[in-house]
Amino acid sequence: MSKKNLVICIVLLFTGLLIQCKKDEVPRNATIIGSWRWLCYYDDYIDGPKTPANTGILETISFYPNNTWKRIQNNVTIDSGSVTLGHGYYLPYQGAGSYTYDSVAFYKNNILKGWDSYEILHNDTLVFSPGWSGRFSSYLEPYNGSRWYVRQ
């Protein structure tokens, strides 16, 4: 992995940690609709962040206005179906501030396969992280990781 990609990934990870710790009562205005190119993946169980440079995986995820989606790795569709978008609140414990998050539920043949909490940073960076909704795992992140994409 190049030093530049590693630095970008580390900066994004720390930004996400800061965002994860803040109280946010205001719904976000950015839309998930569009195509997103994978930047990096991080979880507590692997040795360092995974990126296209160190995995050889070129990935995009696209969300369409007709409530469908597609995930492509190295020019092969690996997942697709329909989606619904939502919004939720997470209260980690009695007396704590609540956290606001956006969510996307993934369906195949009208059967719910799972959902993820996400945030869009600066209208151009999409981050999936189950921790924002108080969960250990999710559909795209089964091991409590965070997956980062940039708008194409």
39-73 per-position pLDDT tens digit: 998 876 766 788 999 999 999 999 999 999 999 99
Tally of domains within the chain? 1
Q: What is the pLDDT of residue 3?
A: 60
Residue 77's domain comprises 3-151
In SS3 terms, 54-77 reads as HHCCCEEEEECCCCEEEEEECCEE
Here the CATH number for the domain that contains residue 69 is 2.40.128
Alpha-helical runs (H) found in 59-126: none
For the whole model, what pTM was predicted? 0.78
Q: Residues in the chain with pLDDT < 50?
A: 1, 13-14, 17-27
